[in-house]
Amino acid sequence: MRSRLYRTAFLLLFLSLLALLVNKEIPVSAPPQVTALPDNSLTYEVAEPIKSLDPAAANNLSEAKVLSHIFEGLVRFQGNSARIEPCLATHWQISPDGRRWIFYLRQGVYFHDTTPLNAEAVKFSVERQLPPNKKDYMTYGSFAFGMVESVEIVDDYTVAFNLRAPYAPLLRNLAMPWAAPVVSPSAVKKFGHDFAKNPVGTGPYRLSEWRNGTPVLKANERYWGNRPRISYLAFRPADHEQRLIDLNSSHCGVADLLPSQKEHLKQDHISLICSPTASLGYLGMFNNRPPFNNHLVRRAVCMAVDREAVASAMFADSSLAANSILPPALPGHYKDLTPYSGGAARAKSLLKTCGYPDGISVTLITYQSERPYNPLGGEALANLIKKQLAPANIRVTVKAYPWHEFKSALKRQEGDAYLFGWVGDNLDPDNFLFTLLSSDAVPQTNLSFYKNSEVDRLIAAAQQEYDEKTRQRLYYHAQQIILQETPLVFLNYGQSCLGVTKNLQGVEVNPYGIPLFFHAFIKH
C-alpha cells in the first residue's frame, strides 16, 4: 500500500495540473518584432507564453521546450523515446533493499557561469524544492522528489538518494524537464526569484538574451558533449494563426501546429512531424453507483463507442485510437491488448442481460475547452459520443461547463459519466496506472472510484520492481484485468504536430512533444 506521502504528492500534482492546464495552448499576442538573429540561427514559434525558465517553477510545455536545451538532469530520455540513458551521471547503483540510489557524476562539467558541477549542486537542486525550502510556485518538486528521504553527498562527484521505500519510477522522475534538472547553486543565490529570467544550467545552450518574451539561446562553447551545430535558438510565442503564417512565409524555421492546420502547409518547403504523445483521452464512468457499478454495463458502453472514429475526428488519424491505458511510447504498452468492441447491437443485447431491456439514460458532463488529448473541445466530443451510443439505446444528456466549473462538477460526482484525460508527467507507466486507477488515488485522481485489489497489488509490485521486464509483465496483467472490467473507456492518445522547414535536418521529438535540436543542423 502506498504511503500517505505519495498520495499527498499526487494530490498536489493533480491540483497543480488542473490549475495550470499543462500543454494547453494559451492565447498569446502576435509575435513581437525582434532584431534579426545572426547566421546559423533557428526561430521556433511555440504555443504558450514563456514566463519562467526556473525548472522548479516552470509549468507549461513551451517552457519545458526551452528548459530542455539549457538544463540537464542526472539522466535523460533518449531522443525519440522514453528509454533512459546517462547524462550528468555516468552510472548508478541501487542497494539490495532498493532504498539507496548512488549516482556517479560526470567530471569536468561546468555550469554556464563557469562554476563546476558537483554533488553539492545536485543536493541543492533537490532540497530547494522540498520542505522547509520549497516555495508555493514550485509545482513539480513534491512529485519528482516526494519519495526521497534525504540526499547525501558521498564525495565531490558521488551523491546518494535515500528513499522512504523502493520506488522504480524514480529514474524517469529524474529525467523530467521540470523539477529534475540540476541548477547552478551560485546563480540561484545570486539572482534569487529572478533566476526564472536568468537560468544557468549545464546544457548545450545557454541564455543569451530575452527579447520581448522571446528567449534567445546561444550554443554553449564549454559544453561537455558534442557542441550543437545550430548557433542560436529563439523560442517565440505566437498564436496558432500567426504560427502557420510565419512558417509558410519562412519567418520561422519550426512551429507548433494544430492537427487541423496540416492541410494548410506549403508542402514544397515544409515538412510535418506528427507523433503520439504521452497523453490519453478517456470516457469515465462513476463505478461506485448505478448504472456503472455493474462492469457489464460499462462493457456495453465500450462496445458501442467507435474509438477509431473519435481519433479520426480529432487528428484525422485512426491509429491514435487507444487500445489501453498506456500511450504507445511508454514501457508497458502492448499492441495486442484490445478493449471490448462489437457495435450497437451487441451493446444493446448486453444491456438486456443486465436488466435494462429499454437501455439506459445517463448524464455525461464535460468541459468546453480544448485539451492536449482533445483538440475538438469537450462539448464536440461529448456530442460525438452521444451520437455513437444512441443506436445502443444508451440515451445521453450532455452538460458542458467552463473548465473550473467542470472540475467542481467532477468533485461532487455530478451526472453518471464524464470526459477527461491525462497528460504524462514522467513517461512512466505508474503515472497512468496508479494515478487513474489505484484505490489509493481515490478520490484525488482516480475519479471513477474504481477499486480492484488485484490491480492494486500488481501496480504496487511494479512500483517497487527494478527489473524492467518484470515490471512490464506486471503492467500487462494489470491491463488485462482493467480491460475486462472497463472502469474507463480509453478513447485516444494525443498527438504533437510540428512544422519544420525542409532544410532543417536531425530534429528529434520526445514523447512529451518536445523537439530536441541537439543534433539538428540547417542544410544550405
> Cα–Cα distance between 376 and 373 in angstroms, integer?
9
Query: Quick one: pLDDT at residue 8?
Result: 47
Is domain 31-269+502-522 given the CATH code 3.40.190.10 in the classification? Answer: yes
Is domain 276-496 given the CATH code 3.10.105.10 in the classification? Answer: yes
Query: Quick one: pLDDT at residue 31?
Result: 52
Q: Return per-residue pLDDT of the chain as tens, 524 residues.
A: 444 444 444 444 444 444 443 344 444 545 545 557 888 999 999 999 999 999 999 999 999 999 999 999 999 999 889 999 999 999 999 999 999 999 999 999 999 999 999 999 999 999 999 999 999 999 899 999 999 999 999 999 999 999 999 999 999 999 999 999 999 999 999 999 999 999 999 999 999 999 889 999 999 999 999 999 999 999 999 999 999 999 999 999 999 999 889 889 988 899 999 999 999 999 999 999 999 999 999 999 999 999 999 999 999 999 999 999 999 999 999 999 999 999 999 999 999 999 999 999 999 999 999 999 999 999 999 999 999 999 999 999 999 999 999 999 999 999 999 999 999 999 999 999 999 999 999 999 999 999 999 999 999 999 999 999 999 999 999 999 999 999 999 999 999 999 999 999 999 999 999 999 999 999 98
Query: Quick one: pLDDT at residue 259?
Result: 85
- Of 174, 151, 166, whose CA–CA distance to 102 is shortest? 151
Residues 6+ away with beta carbon under 8 Å from 53: 63, 66, 67, 70, 196, 197, 199, 207, 215
Query: Quick one: pLDDT at residue 79?
Result: 85
Cell of 449: 472510484
- Of 370, 382, 497, 476, whose CA–CA distance to 429 is shortest? 476
This prediction's pTM: 0.92
Query: Quick one: pLDDT at residue 2?
Result: 44
- Of 166, 106, 177, 118, whose CA–CA distance to 144 is shortest? 177
Query: Quick one: pLDDT at residue 260?
Result: 86
Sign of the alpha-carbon dihedral angle for 113, 114, 115, 119: positive
Query: Quick one: pLDDT at residue 267?
Result: 83
- CB 244 within 8 Å of CB 264: yes
The Cα-based distances of 412 to 192, 260, 408, 438, 449 in angstroms read 41, 35, 6, 19, 12
Query: Quick one: pLDDT at residue 13?
Result: 47
The Cα-based distances of 393 to 47, 348, 352, 381, 399 in angstroms read 41, 6, 10, 19, 19
Ramachandran angles phi, psi of 65, nearest 5°: -65, -35
- Of 284, 296, 318, 279, whose CA–CA distance to 489 is shortest? 284
Domain boundaries defined on the chain: 31-269+502-522, 276-496
Sign of the alpha-carbon dihedral angle for 345, 351, 357, 363: negative
Cell of 200: 544557468
Torsion of CA 426, 255, 211, 511, to 10 degrees: 10
